[in-house]
Amino acid sequence: MKKLVLLLLLFAVNVNGKCLICESNNVESKYAHIADFVQFRIYGTDSSIVEIKTSLIHCKDCGFAFYKKRFNEDEERKLYDDYRGESYQKLRQKYETWYTKEFNYSLGNSEYEISLRTKHLLNIVRKRNLDIKSLLDFGGDKGQFIPDEFNCKKYVYEISGIKPKEGIISLQKMDGMVFDFIMCAHVLEHVSDPKAVVLTCKAHLVGGGIYI
């Protein structure tokens, strides 16, 4: 079947081609297209029939790189719903053969990775002698990277619907809530507007709170 090429002009956040982080106009653009798995997951279309084109933008001032096509909230939820669940893994392996069940499970479940990240976080907190009463891991999966040693209320904001680790409260909304400490790791590269996420987290900190 002859491949049809569809050029989408739905650039949402990045309407003017500015850097998403520093808002500089000093950027360069290169041809790109949405990954086959991502295209099918969000739009239900196969790239062998319809190819969704975009551009890879590189900011020459701050160095940030990003795709011009930005996903809206509904599209993000489609991509990350039941993130790394069985159906997600099977569909992804169909398009990316290296993405096996074993590889899928290893992400975020490695004892070494968990130990390394929690130890690093503990060192930061202890050096600053922080008194944490409430902690939020924004986009933190099951909350497995929150150190068990923290004796406080522990929350995780997660849109995938995954069941949190015991002792951790899962949130899908943060309306009216504030926290002493907000952590956000390996998340900003997954969202359409990373700067907005940082500002959202800042808005949910108590006075003098810490965001890392």
The torsion angles phi and psi of 189, rounded to 5 degrees, stand at: -75, -10
Residue with tokens 């943060």: 174
Say whether pLDDT at 180 is over 70. Answer: yes
Q: Both 155 and 64 in a single domain?
A: no
Q: Do 62 and 120 fall into the same domain?
A: no
CA 207/CA 47 separation, integer angstroms: 49
| The last residue of a domain, from among 61, 90, 106 | 106
Given 76, 106, 136, which residue is the final one in a domain?
Answer: 106
CA distance to 3, 8, 132, 138, per residue, from 109 (Å): 40, 37, 25, 18
The CA distances from residue 104 to 33, 139, 171, 181, 186, in Å, are 24, 17, 24, 29, 16
CA 143 remoteness from chain centre: 14
| Residue 84, CB-side half-sphere exposure with 13 Å CA sphere | 14
Q: What is the 3-state secondary structure (H, E, C) of 156-189?
A: EECCCCCCCCCCCEEECCCCCCCEEEEECCCCHH
pTM of the model: 0.75
pLDDT tops 50 at residue 8: no
What's the count of helices (H) and strands (E) in the chain, helices before strands?
6, 9
pLDDT, the chain, mean: 87
What tens digit of pLDDT does each residue of 44-72 get? 999 889 888 899 999 999 999 999 999 99
Strands 179-183 and 169-171: unpaired
Quickly count: other Cβ atoms within 10 Å of residue 79's Cβ. 17
Do 101 and 11 sit in the same domain of this protein?
A: yes
> 51 with 95, same domain?
yes
Angstrom CA distances, 10 to 7, 29, 66, 124, stand at 9, 16, 15, 41
Indicate if 204 and 142 belong to the same structural domain.
Answer: yes
- Judgement on whether residues 88 and 172 belong to the same structural domain of the protein: no
With cut-offs at 50, 70 and 90, classify the pLDDT of residue 16: low
Do 67 and 119 belong together in one domain? no
> Using CA atoms, how far apart are residues 91 and 96, in angstroms rounded to an integer?
9
Same domain, yes or no: 116 and 192: yes
22 and 100 inside one domain: yes
Which residues form the domain of 121? Answer: 111-211
Find the CATH number of the domain harbouring 187. Answer: 3.40.50.150
How high is the pLDDT of residue 17? Answer: 75
pLDDT number for residue 126 = 86
Q: Of 106, 136, 153, which residue is a domain's last?
A: 106
Query: For the residues 10-14, what does the mean pLDDT come to?
Result: 36
How many distinct structural domains can be found in the chain?
2
- Measured between alpha carbons, how far is 59 from 78 in angstroms, rounded to an integer? 28
- Judged against a pLDDT cut of 90, whether residue 31 lies above it is answered with yes
pLDDT exceeds 70 at position 78: yes
Averaged pLDDT, 142-170: 91
135 and 203: one domain? yes
Question: Which residues are within 8 A (CB) of 131 and not within 5 positions of it... i.e. 6 or more apart?
Answer: 180
pLDDT tens, position by position, 90-118: 999 999 999 999 999 888 888 998 999 99
Do residues 172 and 127 share a domain?
yes
Evaluate if residue 120 carries a pLDDT over 70: yes
Residues 8 and 101 in one domain: yes
Reported as a pLDDT band with limits 50, 70 and 90, residue 203 is: very high
